[in-house]
Structure 1
Amino acid sequence: MVSGTSLKDRYLVGRFPVPHRGLGEVWRAYDTLLERPVIVKLVGAGTMDRDLIRRFRRETLLTARLDHPGVPAVYDLGEHEGRPYVVLEYIAGLNLTDLVAEQNPIPVGWVAAIGAQISSVLMAARRIDLVHRDIKPGNVMLAPSGAVKVLDFGLAVVYDDDRYSRITQSEQRLGTMGYMAPEQARGERVDHRTDLYGLGATLFDLLTGQPPFVGATTTIVREQMDHPPPRPAHLRPDVPAALGDLVRALLAIRPEDRPASAAEVYADLAPLSRDLPPIPGLLDDTAEAVQAYAAVVGRVPQQTRPTTTLAAEPVKPDPAQGEKRAKQLHAAGEYRAAARQWRQLADHRARQYGDDDRKVFDLRLQAARAHVSLGEHDRAVRQLNVLLQDRIRVDGPDHAAVRSLRQEIARVSTERPTSPPPPRRGPGSDH
């Protein structure tokens, strides 16, 4: 591509290509018809073959099919001197790899906000049975408005649809080491939970400034297959326990031990995304317009999870009063609010005495049990398994508390609610 080239007598290509880690070329351009900046992505001249062209077209169609504000809009397709190109929405901002390098440590609220937005993209992907397969910091951008964009659908797959279901033989890279799920590394069939693993690794990176597993490729694979990931709080003590537990659940070795859906992950991250501090040099005044729009849309009722009529109160200096409040909420049937109260109490005590404190364990155990009362057995089991690993590390596998917890996990795993709990609505609802 030559600087100043005009595609279709409409898209005027800029002076220099954009640094790009993937195949092909990426250029800034200007749409002279609609008078707006755009991005032009072309198949690389030196690597062009039939399979590459098919992959390029496939990625473009998948990106266009996934209609979501967190995915770059596809404006046009064309061909220049035999090389296919796509015209995409121009996105200012930084990819998350550069964001970590420039802003580390990233405020916890922003980590949750970024993760919640990625979760919403994965919710849309699941509706069309699409698996991205390469969720990582380098494939996500944070725009000056505070909005997140998920990029690069070159490895995405849609099963049971011949147009999108296959990656050609020339595709050598199946993901990114350190961010791909164990089942993906083993070459097994993947599903939406594979992308949740990539999200967990991305959140870990944003929180700590490094992937959950580091080292040579063989070391990373062995660690992923055989050992649970480290807690983010071991590298960054200010990480809330609720967020740390979620990250560990997302990075579970077995897909069935991860959260059931991106919607569930979003529901956990959204409450942690409040009171976002400014990010100097990145977020500008345009955030106000986007946030004003999103704030109204966010008030649309979401009938996806049971709600509560009483809200959990902030932890007071007197922990005994906080525990009393949690028990009152639970006795009143406000199980979700009770779980939040117990988690807040656990976080408060963990900051004083550490995660291995027995009282911290007991409070988190109560929070997990509240989800059983809600009928959310899978979520409860994930939280109980995290607690089990912690107690084994502290007390050893033969301790009475460890044996008791194993029995409780087995019991909860076999239980299933006979009917969903009735929804509760009120000013303190937790969506």
Structure 2
Amino acid sequence: MTTIAGRYALDPVHIGKGGMGEVWGATDTRLRRRVAVKFVRFGDDPELVRRFVRESQLTARMGHPGVPVLYDADKVAGGPFDGRLYLVMELVEGVSVDDLVAEQDPLPVGWAAAIAAQVCAVLSHAHGRSLVHRDLKPSNLMVDVHGAVKVLDFGLAVALDADERSRLTSTGQALGTLAYMAPEQFRGRSGPASDLYALGCVLYQMLSGRSPFEATDRVSFMHAHIYEDAVPVGRLRDDIPPEMDALVRRLLAKAPEARPASADEVFDALHPYTTGLRELPGAVRAGRSPFRMYADVAGRALASRSGAVRGPAASAREPSRTKQPADSFSLGDLARARRSAERLMRDSRFEEAARTLRRTAARAESVLGGDHSEVIALRGELADVLFNAGDYPAAASAFHALAEGAARRDGTGSETALRLRFQEANSRALGGEIDRALAQLKDLISDEARFFGKDDDRVLEHRRQLGLLLHGAGRAAAAVRTLEDLAADLERLRGPDDRTLQNVREALTRIGRP
């Protein structure tokens, strides 16, 4: 028997295994209770380890009954798991929503609403504390015999946040599970609205028995989430209320600001359908239980839905009203505007954040001048907000203006000018201007090769992204030619074991021969 930290005796076999590690049932020999031990696989990145420890501490203080209690987090010293980071948490006895849907195929409307509403309660609590899950999916939701839902893997998802990025044209692993990722997550961005999109995918699956998008590879999933509309769930079942069908459509909106404003709003929309719940054989038992007795009284006595105090999530929805003097402007005003925009973005109110930054940038430019570093930085933040909001044409225009300004100030070969040109091309691609995006990316590659040499890492990376963009645009033959040429150069420069070369070959395998 393997024992961790001198007290957690692992069961003979693990409960589950995934790409980031595995989960074991265990006994805490000191307190004589059953626990779950999750081993996490990060490699040797010290920054990931630091974030893991910090975010685990934050998650341990969540204190919501819908999140398993986190008891311990540390690094194994000695034994078969030597050097591995681990979490010790409450062992949840129940069935995953994944298995529940497979058994019920699909779930009754009332149960789908009840499960999703409980997830909303957890998200409301987490989002009010600036914590985002980023990987909601049916296998991360457990339903116990009382019908209560536990949301798993909160700490792990938060800990990995900014360290695994993806763009439209990248094949690197993005945080999240492909079938449930919001469009913005494929660009390395996520927020509360991303969790709501994932919840929409889960609700769709509970109601229909299938995911909103079916695909076999990353590129196909990415294209579906960004460009395609799911078949309305109301067409797949006759008993779906029109209001429920409309809610699922809003949750699956491509632009974050088009989704419901908060988890509280989704909860209120789902609550009327959470009545008349019946036993789910093999999963949820009917009848009286101490848990239901407690939950019933707490729900009646302590919370009136029509007049409940919403807490941090509601207060965050109130727009910031920072009074600006009419006859003066200072760097302090800039800082306040930035903080206001950040608060709005955390609540997925991107349009308001963009208006705040646009208005402040105009005032700052009139006082400080267009070439002032603070004005340029503010306009860069505005471009990022527009991109995050899904307003790709406006984002492309903003990046174009910034790139021209950087080239004028620092030269056409400056890192900043070239980076902004790529961001413009990426925005054009996401906005549907494929031909223009391809032309801009080709011009960028040509200029980078002229400035840095054709074997420069930046040139090689953008050639890879060009090939993937060609594939995404349906130009398989051109994509294959581009990626085959790149593969030959990568093998010549870096050898046959290079990771990027392996990614390119995997992409060629997925694309196949036209």
Q: Quickly name the TM-score band, shorter chain normalised.
A: 0.5 to 0.7
Paired residues for 1:267-346 under 5 Å? 267-284=268-285, 288-300=289-301, 302=303, 305=306
CA contact (8 A) 2:28 2:35 kept: yes
CA contact (8 A) 2:96 2:139 kept: yes
What letter matches 2:66 in structure 1? Answer: G
The separation in 2 between residues aligned to 1:219 and 1:287, in whole angstroms, is 47
The separation in 2 between residues aligned to 1:268 and 1:40, in whole angstroms, is 36
Report the alpha carbon displacement of residue 114 of structure 1 after superposing the two structures with TM: 0.3
CA contact (8 A) 1:130 1:156 kept: no
Match of 1:17 in 2: 14
What letter matches 1:223 in structure 2? Answer: A
Q: Which has the higher contact order (CA 8 A, sep 6+)?
A: 1
SS of residue matched to 1:87? strand
Name the count of aligned residue pairs. 298
Would the alpha carbon gap of residues 271 and 22 (structure 1) be closer, same or farther in structure 2, given more than 3 Å must change?
farther
Match of 1:93 in 2: 94
The separation in 1 between residues aligned to 2:85 and 2:219, in whole angstroms, is 37
What letter matches 2:195 in structure 1? Answer: D
The separation in 2 between residues aligned to 1:43 and 1:183, in whole angstroms, is 26
The separation in 2 between residues aligned to 1:276 and 1:304, in whole angstroms, is 20
SS of residue matched to 1:178? helix
Would the alpha carbon gap of residues 281 and 274 (structure 1) be closer, same or farther in structure 2, given more than 3 Å must change?
same
What letter matches 2:25 in structure 1? Answer: R
> Which of 14, 38, 41 is equivalent to 2:38?
41
The separation in 2 between residues aligned to 1:278 and 1:253, in whole angstroms, is 36
Report the alpha carbon displacement of residue 303 of structure 1 after superposing the two structures with TM: 6.0
What letter matches 2:162 in structure 1? Answer: R
The separation in 1 between residues aligned to 2:73 and 2:287, in whole angstroms, is 29
Please list the CA deviations of residues 204-236 of structure 1 after superposition, one character each: whole Å capped at 9, or x if unmatched.
011111111112443433333334332112112
Match of 2:204 in 1: 204
CA contact (8 A) 2:165 2:174 kept: no
Question: TM-score, normalization: structure 1?
Answer: 0.63
Match of 2:25 in 1: 28
Match of 2:260 in 1: 259
Please list the CA deviations of residues 138-179 of structure 1 after superposition, one character each: whole Å capped at 9, or x if unmatched.
21111222111111236644xxxxx98632679833222231
Report the alpha carbon displacement of residue 292 of structure 1 after superposing the two structures with TM: 1.2
What letter matches 1:272 in structure 2? Answer: Y
Query: In the alignment, is residue 76 of structure 1 matched against residue 72 of structure 2?
Result: yes
Match of 1:177 in 2: 178
Q: Percent identity between the aligned chains?
A: 45
Larger helix share, 1 or 2: 2
The separation in 1 between residues aligned to 2:184 and 2:71, in whole angstroms, is 35
CA contact (8 A) 1:179 1:202 kept: yes
Report the alpha carbon displacement of residue 55 of structure 1 after superposing the two structures with TM: 5.3
Match of 1:337 in 2: none
What letter matches 2:39 in structure 1? Answer: L
Match of 2:484 in 1: none
Would the alpha carbon gap of residues 285 and 131 (structure 1) be closer, same or farther in structure 2, given more than 3 Å must change?
same
CA contact (8 A) 2:9 2:27 kept: yes
The alignment's C-alpha RMSD in Å is: 2.8
Would the alpha carbon gap of residues 254 and 49 (structure 1) be closer, same or farther in structure 2, given more than 3 Å must change?
closer
The separation in 2 between residues aligned to 1:98 and 1:287, in whole angstroms, is 25
SS of residue matched to 2:13? strand
Would the alpha carbon gap of residues 90 and 285 (structure 1) be closer, same or farther in structure 2, given more than 3 Å must change?
farther
Would the alpha carbon gap of residues 9 and 165 (structure 1) be closer, same or farther in structure 2, given more than 3 Å must change?
closer
Would the alpha carbon gap of residues 75 and 241 (structure 1) be closer, same or farther in structure 2, given more than 3 Å must change?
same
| Greater Rg by CA | 2
Please list the CA deviations of residues 36-60 of structure 1 after superposition, one character each: whole Å capped at 9, or x if unmatched.
211112235x956545534543553
Match of 1:103 in 2: 104
CA contact (8 A) 2:95 2:142 kept: yes
Match of 2:154 in 1: 153
Query: In the alignment, is residue 7 of structure 1 matched against residue 23 of structure 2?
Result: no
Please list the CA deviations of residues 125-146 of structure 1 after superposition, one character each: whole Å capped at 9, or x if unmatched.
1111111111111211112221
The separation in 1 between residues aligned to 2:130 and 2:288, in whole angstroms, is 32
Which consecutive unaligned segments of at least 5 residues does structure 1 have?
158-162, 308-377, 379-431
Would the alpha carbon gap of residues 19 and 287 (structure 1) be closer, same or farther in structure 2, given more than 3 Å must change?
farther
Which consecutive unaligned segments of at least 5 residues does structure 2 have?
167-171, 309-348, 350-514
Match of 1:420 in 2: none
SS of residue matched to 1:18? strand
The separation in 1 between residues aligned to 2:230 and 2:268, in whole angstroms, is 22
What letter matches 1:65 in structure 2? Answer: R
The separation in 2 between residues aligned to 1:164 and 1:215, in whole angstroms, is 25
CA contact (8 A) 1:155 1:167 kept: no
Would the alpha carbon gap of residues 221 and 168 (structure 1) be closer, same or farther in structure 2, given more than 3 Å must change?
closer
Report the alpha carbon displacement of residue 91 of structure 1 after superposing the two structures with TM: 0.5
The separation in 2 between residues aligned to 1:54 and 1:241, in whole angstroms, is 47
Question: TM-score, normalization: structure 2?
Answer: 0.53
The separation in 1 between residues aligned to 2:258 and 2:297, in whole angstroms, is 35
Paired residues for 1:182-261 under 5 Å? 182-187=183-188, 189-216=189-216, 217-261=218-262
CA contact (8 A) 1:213 1:223 kept: yes
CA contact (8 A) 1:141 1:151 kept: yes
CA contact (8 A) 2:279 2:286 kept: no
Query: In the alignment, is residue 130 of structure 1 matched against residue 131 of structure 2?
Result: yes
CA contact (8 A) 1:55 1:167 kept: no
Would the alpha carbon gap of residues 197 and 43 (structure 1) be closer, same or farther in structure 2, given more than 3 Å must change?
closer
CA contact (8 A) 2:212 2:230 kept: yes
Report the alpha carbon displacement of residue 11 of structure 1 after superposing the two structures with TM: 2.3
